[in-house]
Amino acid sequence: MATYRTGVIACGIIARVHARAWLGVEGRPTEIGAIADSNGDALREFGEFFGVPEGHRYSDYREMLDSERLDFVDVCSWHQLHAEMVIAAAARQPKAIICQKPMAVDLGEAEAMLTACQRNGVKLVIAYQRPHHATWLKARELLREGAIGRVVQIQLEAGGNLLNTNSHNIRLALFLMDEPRVEWVMGAVERTTELLERGLPAEDACLGLAACDNGATILIMGDLIQGLGQGCRVIGTEGIMELSTTYYPDEMVPSDAPMHMPEGLSARYNFEIGTVRYMNGATDGWEEVTETWRDCWSQQCREAIDWVEGRVEAPISSGERGRAVQEVMMALYESARKRQRIYLPLKTRVNPLRLMVETGELEAEWPGEYERRATLVRGEGMSWHET
């Protein structure tokens, strides 16, 4: 019998990844005890697939929170609902909450989420799972040992907008350098179209530089070049290190069938592989780093359980560390809005990109809203708010 019960809010694609992660923790100490989704088809499919009885399926997530005894709450909604759902969950005082990244849509929401959890004694994890790759943990160890000397710069090259894919890479950069404090950010954004990312105005490309108190900088390149994607390049005084990701072949990955599969196999994310290689004066070209593979999502859940049970003091992606990522992203947008370097702590609590769009300061060259994630929406809707 499982020790803990997890309640999942929003039963879309990423919720399947989270559910497999909980159920994949060694010894299976946690069960998916209850689920909530306003879409009846998503609720039914998820419940049937993961064996959640009908009596523990809810169309209203607050009803689930009020009716169930939950140890963990896992928020898997699109990010415009993260703050609302985390604050509501915290008020019911589970042991911990895991919230899908990005933490929120602006800094004000992120801080409200932290406040809600702190005043209710609830632990908060933001699902930046990739640092749990065994090879990426080894990469941090090698950097600590000076494998490439002192870190000078970490370069991020990902497609997608800042809040989506690049939030992962900013989190990775801070993780690899043992959580330095970012002192200032300078950035620029391009928004020639009226692109939406999960219902939120998004940039077509961005470029930013974040200066850290350890003397290193983080170079952020979003949708500018076809680079390393999910990962980074670490430039040191004595060498270079590259981190990236790949996947197990599809034939080795479990199917979602008969569930709705607009993106194919969601379990591909559970079967992601973190790769690392480095080069210095003592290596004969690139040196590949190998470690025993493990599902980084399950490791994140394992760490959340360990945190609740007192075996971990500070998880890799705590709410505070998620807030640090949020602040860097919002500072980049604020730098673009104010056309100047932005020193942290950031005072602006709203989303500066959204503000520029709403005030007409950042007018698109080619008008007409379109949703990057429209293929994920069920029914007749074309974005998150139309479902």
How does pLDDT run across 133-182, given as a tens digit for each residue?
999 999 999 999 999 999 999 999 988 899 999 999 999 999 999 999 99
Asked, for residue 64, whether it belongs to a domain, the answer is yes
Adjacent-strand bridge partners of 272: 247
pLDDT in tens, 207-236: 999 999 999 999 999 999 878 889 999 999
Tokens of 131: 């640092």
Examine residue 78 and state whether it is found in any structural domain, yes or no.
yes
Is residue 69 one of the residues assigned to a domain? yes
Q: What percent of the chain has pLDDT over 70?
A: 99
Residues 14 and 76: beta-carbon distance below 8 Å: yes
Q: Using CA atoms, how far apart are residues 258 and 335, in angstroms rounded to an integer? A: 46
pLDDT of residue 67: 99
Domain membership of residue 215 (yes or no) is no
pLDDT above 90 covers what percent of the chain?
91
pLDDT, tens digit, 9 for 90 and up, residues 274-298: 999 999 999 999 999 999 999 999 9
Beta bridge partners of 233: 155, 242
Nearest to 351 by CA among 199, 225, 123: 199
Q: Is residue 38 domain-resident? A: yes
- Given this model, what pLDDT does residue 373 score? 87
Whether the pLDDT of residue 1 is over 80: the answer is no
Which pLDDT does position 385 carry in this prediction?
61
What integer is the mean pLDDT of 24-32? 97
In a domain, 167, yes or no: no
How crowded is residue 278: how many other Cβ atoms within 10 Å of its Cβ? 21
What CATH number should be reported for the domain holding residue 20?
3.40.50.720
Query: For residue 316, what pLDDT band results from cuts at 50, 70 and 90?
Result: very high
Predicted pLDDT at 95: 99
Tell me how far apart the alpha carbons of residues 168 and 178 are, in angstroms, rounded to a whole number: 16
3-state secondary structure of 306: helix
Sign of CA dihedral 293, 233, 154, 109: negative
Instruction: Give the C-alpha separation, 136 to 143, whole Å.
Output: 11
| pLDDT value of residue 384 | 67
Q: Which residues pair with 157 in a beta bridge?
A: 221
Q: State how far the Cα of 210 lies from the Cα of 290, in Å rounded to an integer.
A: 30
Q: Do the domain assignments include residue 79?
A: yes
Domain tally, the chain? 1
Place 386 in a pLDDT band, splitting at 50, 70 and 90: low
Q: Per-residue b/e over 81-91, b at no fewer than 16 CB within 10 Å? A: bbbbbbbbbbe
**Residue 387: pLDDT over 60:** no
Report whether the peptide linkage leading into residue 102 is cis, meaning its omega lies within 30 degrees of zero.
yes
Domain of 72 in residue numbering reads as 4-129+301-316
In a domain, 118, yes or no: yes
